[in-house]
């Protein structure tokens, strides 16, 4: 498939219960130093808490866009 400049995971189209598994599967497939951009329709704070609990010290979190319609967060694997 055609390659863009960054990995972008748009979870807005993913059913609610499947979102976090898709996000963690994407994260876990990254090599250290790589990142993807999460696109969501609300602030993914619960996700951030889950990352802090389940991947403590292994991730980086940077807001690229903070609403009011779209949130974009760069999630990197340390």
Partner 1 sequence: MRLGISSAAAPDLPLVELVRACRRRGLSALQLEAGHTHGVVGAARVGHGTGGGPGNALADTPLARTAARVREQGVELVGFRVSHLGDVERSGVLLLSASLRAPLVAPAATAAGSDAILAAADACHGAGARLLIAHGSNATQAAALRRVAEEAPSGSVALAWDVSPLAGDLEGDAAAVLDAAGDALHLIRLAGGGPESAGEEGRGVGALMARLALERWDGAIVLAPSTTRYLRAWSAWLGRRGGWGCGSKAEPAPLRLLAQPEATS
- Give the interface with partner 1 as residue ranges (CB under 8 A): 1-22, 24-26, 29-30, 36, 39-42, 44, 46-47, 50, 68-70
Q: Which helix (H) or strand (E) holds 27?
A: helix 16-28
Instruction: Give the nearer residue to partner 1 in terms of CB position, either 57 or 68.
Output: 68
**Greatest C-alpha distance within the chain:** 35
Strand 35-40 and strand 8-10: the pairing is parallel
Instruction: Give the nearer residue to partner 1 in terms of CB position, either 10 or 78.
Output: 10
Q: Is the dihedral of CA 29, 3, 68, 15 positive or negative?
A: negative
Residue 62 CB, nearest distance to partner 1 (Å)?
17
Residue 67 CB, nearest distance to partner 1 (Å)?
9
């Amino acid at each position: 498939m055609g390659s863009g400049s960054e990995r972008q995971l748009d979870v807005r189209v993913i059913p609610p219960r499947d979102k976090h598994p898709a996000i963690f599967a994407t994260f876990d497939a990254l090599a250290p130093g790589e990142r993807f951009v999460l696109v969501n329709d609300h602030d993914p704070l619960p996700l951030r808490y889950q990352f802090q609990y389940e991947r403590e010290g292994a991730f980086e979190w940077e807001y690229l866009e903070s609403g009011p319609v779209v949130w974009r967060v760069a999630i990197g694997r340390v």
